[in-house]
Amino acid sequence: MSEIRFLDGLGEIPAADWDALVPDGNPFVSHAFLSGMETKGCLREDYGWKPYHLAIFDGGRLVAAAPTYLKGNSHGEFVFDWSWASAWERAGGDYYPKLLVASPYSPVPGPRLLVREGPGADIHRNRLTAALVDEADRLGLSSIHANFLAEADLHAFDDRWLIRADYQFHWHNRGYADFDGFLDALARKKRKNIRQERAHAAASGLTLEMRGGDTLSDAEWRQIHGLYELTFDMKGNHAALTARFFQYLGRTLGSNVQVALARDDRDIVAMALFLRSADALYGRYWGASVELSGLHFELCYYRGIDYAIREGLARFEPGAQGEHKLARGFLPTLTHSRHYIAHEGFRQAVADALVHEAAHREAYKDELMTHSPYADR
């Protein structure tokens, strides 16, 4: 017997059952990461987040799922639809709440339609997207948004869903033996600039190190979170992740959390936080109480590349945006989202806008690639 349910929290599903659907140990859709967001104070209705996870059971066994939320705003998504919301509401409609399939606060491409791979996997993905549409229509919602989708998910979205894409800057491992091997692949000027930046960081007088999350004490995690919070405050942004969540990640994900640290004696004065899967490293948060030449690039990018080479990871995704990443070996890589707009007329208007957006996006990518840092471009 088949059953489709929408759940108010991941606590309703055993971690082992959910994680059996997650490929390659992807941390951002793991039960630990998503349930930690819920239980450690990161997702709150006054922040615009209400868990509403989709789960499909066959014979009482979980066979498909999607991390899903009822969203009261568009914060923390990184696929920007503010203009769509404004247009909808100027026309007299209620754009929020909407349905969102995503990993909260994480502009990281990965699986969103979670199924066991093998015979029937595509059928279950199709069942998930159909269930999302049925539920949005039942609730009278304006829209559904599925953000930062894995390639394997894309074919499950039929022509009712609008196609949107963007570019992030990712580093790809070409089998480098070490960091110098990576530098050898770059054009001479880019290679020289990176060496200079690393030299500035090395000459700072700070102790630089890479630590696994399970080796850090609660006191160190509090310092790390304080730097994250300070940096968000300095930029006028809201730091949604709590110190409890940072400590929890270190305990539950262990060495799959990595932190690049800069210490002045015993004080942590700068940090970059990463998560990893079986084949990739993901840069997430930066924080610092000092400004020193080269330190940001050293902790956020070069320590990550070093780690990815040493661990034999296929790629390093340092986060959203940032053209400055191009000069440091990160190339534009396409990301995917899909959008269901309930109102047919508004759907067509958005579709027309996306055609123009796509043309600008591809022209932008072509321009970026004329500045590739690699010698063999």
Give dist(CA 141, CA 102) in Å, integer: 17
pLDDT in tens, the chain (377 residues): 899 999 999 999 999 999 999 998 899 999 999 999 999 999 999 999 999 999 999 999 999 999 999 999 999 999 999 999 999 999 999 999 999 999 999 999 999 999 998 889 999 999 999 999 999 999 999 999 999 999 999 999 999 999 999 999 999 999 999 999 999 999 999 999 999 999 999 999 999 999 999 999 999 999 999 999 999 888 878 899 999 999 999 999 999 999 999 999 989 999 999 999 999 999 999 999 999 999 999 999 999 999 999 999 999 999 988 889 999 999 999 999 999 999 999 999 999 999 999 999 999 999 999 999 999 86
Q: Would you list the domain boundaries of the chain?
A: 2-165+333-369, 174-313
CA 296 to chain CA centroid, Å, is 20
SS3 of 339, please?
Answer: strand
Give dist(CA 377, CA 364) in Å, integer: 17
pLDDT value for 236: 77
Cβ burial 142-167 (10 Å sphere, 16+ → b, else e): bbbbbbbbbebbeebbeeebbebbbb
pLDDT value for 256: 97
* Fold entry, domain 174-313: Aminopeptidase (3.40.630)
C-alpha closest to that of 55 among 20, 27, 88: 20
| Residue 156 near residue 129 (C-beta atoms within 8 A) | yes
Give dist(CA 63, CA 115) in Å, integer: 6
For 2-165+333-369, give the CATH class: alpha beta
Give dist(CA 114, CA 152) in Å, integer: 10
pLDDT value for 377: 65
Give dist(CA 182, CA 171) in Å, integer: 10
Can 2-165+333-369 and 174-313 be said to share one CATH topology?
yes
pLDDT value for 376: 84
